[in-house]
Amino acid sequence: MKKLFSSVFILLTFCLASCSTPMQSVQTRQNNLDSPFSSKIALTLDKLNAEGTIKRYGDSEWEVEFDSPNTLSGVNLAFSQGNVSASYKGLSFSVPKSALPVKAMLVNLIDAVDTNARSEELKGSDNEGMLEIQGNSDGGDYILTVDGNGNISSFDMPNNLLEISFKEVTAISGGEIPSTNSTTETAVPTETTVQAENNSQAVS
């Protein structure tokens, strides 16, 4: 009988302790992810650091142009309905080797944002005024963070050593990604030139 009372007492104590701990409530936020936007980005992927500008025109319609590092500076990646094209100052070519890891991570970002953009409102946990949305894509688990207005602030995939921060997020007119089929007489960075020569049929 004493053992029974002891067990009940322990169970009661555990329940009271659990109930006294506040559960983290689900927060909601206005969803502005579906609005076409442009933003400066700073991307860290393991030991790679890159900066540039990213634009979302609509579902599965994205464009990224890099300012740094030198191996990516000036390279533009256009994502449209599952296809990816690359260009450098009007010259189209296959995606450069140096951009492949970044391209893969950007696909995860695009998938996460486009998926959440289809929701009427954003749901997640509050972290000092920011809303953190946890999810998973084909590439792994992610944390998508939006600010008080529902605009994108950061995208992290800890298991992939990926961090992308967004700043100067501004609304733009929606529509298709501008055409990059025109060519100009200009040099492409060494690494991309080699890739383009090896895939000459890909050059328009």
Dihedrals phi, psi of 86, to nearest 5 degrees: -125, 150
Contacts of 153 (CB under 8 A, 6+ apart): 130, 145, 146, 147, 165, 166
What local confidence, expressed as pLDDT, does residue 146 receive?
97
In 3D space, the residue among 88, 84, 90, 89 whose CA is nearest the CA of residue 102 turns out to be 84
What local confidence, expressed as pLDDT, does residue 22 receive?
45
What local confidence, expressed as pLDDT, does residue 56 receive?
97
Average pLDDT, consecutive stretches of 10 residues, N- to C-terminus, the chain (204 residues): 46 44 71 95 96 97 96 94 89 84 94 96 95 94 95 97 97 71 37 36 33
Q: What tokens does 94 get?
A: 């296959």
Contacts of 123 (CB under 8 A, 6+ apart): 26, 27, 28, 29, 133
CA distance 167 to 118: 22
What local confidence, expressed as pLDDT, does residue 179 receive?
57
CA distance 17 to 14: 5
Domains and CATH numbers, the chain: 27-175+182-202 (2.50.20.10)
What local confidence, expressed as pLDDT, does residue 188 receive?
39
What local confidence, expressed as pLDDT, does residue 175 receive?
66
